[in-house]
Structures are given as structure tokens and as C-alpha cells.
A = this chain, B = another copy of it.
Amino acid sequence: MFFASDNWAGAHPKIAQRLFAESGGFAAAYGTSDLDQKIEAKFSEIFERDVAVFFVATGTAANSLSLASVQKPGGISFCHPEAHVAEDECGAPDFFSGARLATVEGVLGKIDPKALTTKVARFPQDALHHGRAAAVTITQATEIGTVYSLAEIDAIATVCKANGLPLHMDGARFANALVALGVSPAEMTWKRGVDILSFGGTKNGCWCAEAIVFFNPEQAKEMHFIRKRAAQLFSKSRFIAAQFDGYFEDGLWLDLARHSNRMADRLRAGIEQASTARLAWPTASNEVFAIISKSAAKTAEDKGAKFYEWPIPESQPELVSGNETLIRLVTSFATTNDDVTGFLACLA
């Protein structure tokens, strides 16, 4: 009953096997091998256009270097207050980009397009003292497990275009969002106006497979140097390429995301029916937030369930009553039906 995070899982056997199979032989280093190039081509195929792809070590690196690539002195990147770049990256986006984050409110973990318009207007391009708008970043799926609809991404992209701002998507849980919406990778990204994507494989069954994807390769020219100077260029880059090779083969990545979402669906359904718990938000991907009685939480922990208590959002101080707690449950490719059944039994 490991629901602490999808990064507590290891690697899916097929991906691990593919990596193992790659270990022999020799290949050019630093991302220039045939396998690296095959995977780059695979990304272009998946996204239905020529893309530039850069492997990096962590999701934090993918986000930070993406934002760094579009920065300017005095620039401001706009994100949701609960975004990973704001809450969980120890200032790395600011450090690498030399820019500041400004947060834009919105319900259910998503930036509100009207609030974005208002906020961006406070940072015009000649705002020498105050700072100027430089980029917008959204998280798909969001940090609270919700998913931007295509129309919602359109609305954000419209504000970006009107203000000449590049749009970055933090896709640490890209696949979970994709199968939740049931759309194609192209439909959820560049067809909506997304310029740069942090494409995460780690949380969905890889060991360590994160990529920055530029939908306009022309804009990626500086990234080779930005990445190398950031100490993020792997010598044996094919160890990432091999993971992606297994990840993409026969649509494994989508199957894994469907599995974790399905496990989350079962959790949601069970929680809705439980007397000791209720859903905090209507999530759609592999994260479930439940308001649960403290006694049920204690029972679950005693029986070995792993999960994190979650801070009450500042905007929803009334969310939880005195004898309750807010918890986060994350499913992964490795979550089993028994895990879910076992956890739900604790709520009875």
C-alpha cells in the first residue's frame, strides 16, 4: 500500500529489461549515439512534428532549464502558487534563469486565464523597475491531480500569444494527463500553443528519464550550451535513451499511465463511498486527495499504508474539520488492485 509518491516505485520490468539489454557494446557519448538519435526521431513521431529533445537528470532540471532558455534580465515567469517550480524545487528555476516567479491564482490547481491577464498586465515589457513578463508555465497534470482541458490550455495560450510570452508545460505526469483527456500528445501541446515541454518518464515507470522538448527546434539552439553548463549532459546518454525506447515501445507509456489512473479511479470511487473519508477535489489523474478521519488515517498507517499528509491550501482554510486530515494518495504503474482494496478496507 505505497501511495506516498509515484517516485517510490522502481522501474517497470520492460524498461529495466530494455536498459539491461543495452549494456553491451560501444556507442558515441554525450547524446550523439544512434540510439539517442532514434529516440529523438521517436519524439518527433509521437508529437507529429520535428521537435528538439534534450535529456536531463531531473524534472527540476527540465523545468529550470526550460525557463532559463526563454529568460531575460528582470524577467518574470508566471505559475500557479501550487506549481512544482514554486513549491518543490528549492529555487532552482530562479537560480538557473536568473528570473523571478510570480504566482497566479486559480481553482483546482490551474491558472485562471483572467487572473493571468491581470497579472501579466502588471509587468509590461518596459517595466524597468517592476520587472517584465517573460514566460508562463502550467503543470499538466497539476500538482493536485487535476487536468487542464484542451479548452483551458487554449485559454492560457491565448493570453500568452496576446502578450508575446512563451508557454511552458511541466509534464512530470504528462502521460497521466494525456490518457485522462484521451487526446494525442500533439493535441495537448503545440496544437494548443505550448512552446516547450518538460516531458517526464520517471514517475511513470522509468528510472530516470526526463526530456525537454522544443516544438520549434529553432528556439532550442542555446539549449545545448545551457544544458552542458548546468552539468546536465550525460556521457552515457544512451542509458536514458534506452529507457525511453522501452517506455515508448508498443505504447507501454500510455498503458502504464492508464493503469495508474485506473488505480486512482478505484481509490476515488472507494473514498466517495466511505463513511470516514471524502474527496478533497475532483482529480482526474493518478493523484487522489482525500479528507479522512484521523482515526482512519491511523488505522491505514498501522496496517502499513504509506502516504503523505498534505498542507491545507491557504485559499481553502475551511477544507478540513478538527478530527480530519488531508492526505495525498499517488498511484503508479506498480500499484496493484490489492493495494487499493487493502487501503479502502482501512476506511470501512
Q: Is the CB of A94 within 8 A of B100?
A: yes
A177 to B131, CA, bound (A): 28
Of B89, B94, B128, B234, the contact of A90 (CB 8 Å cutoff): B128
- If A202-B236, A236-B208 touch, whether A231 touches B26 (CB-CB below 8 Å) is no
Known A-B contacts A4-B28, A9-B26, A91-B99; A239 and B73 likewise in contact (beta carbons under 8 Å): no
In the complex, A7 has a CB within 8 A of chain B: yes
This chain: how many copies in the complex? 4
A98 sits at the interface (CB 8 A): yes
Q: Is the CB of B20 within 8 A of A74?
A: no
Q: How many residues of A contact B (CB 8 A)?
A: 78
User: Which residue of B is nearest A206, CB measured?
Assistant: B236
Q: Are A231 and B228 in contact (CB under 8 A)?
A: no
Complex interface: chain B residues within 8 A of A64 (CB): 231
Binds B, one of A156-164, A219-227, A280-288, A289-297: A219-227
- Collect the chain B residues with CB atoms within 8 Å of residue A207's CB: 19, 23, 236, 239
Q: Is A16 an interface residue (CB 8 A)?
A: yes
Partner of A58 from B95, B231, B238 at Cβ < 8 Å: B231
* Nearest CB of B to A196, in Å: 16
A251 on the B face (CB < 8 A) = no
Check B23 against A12 for contact (C-beta < 8 Å).
yes
Contact call B9/A20, Cβ cutoff below 8 A: no
Question: Does chain B have a CB within 8 A of A233?
Answer: yes
Given A130-B87, A233-B58, answer yes or no on A225-B10 (Cβ-Cβ < 8 Å): no
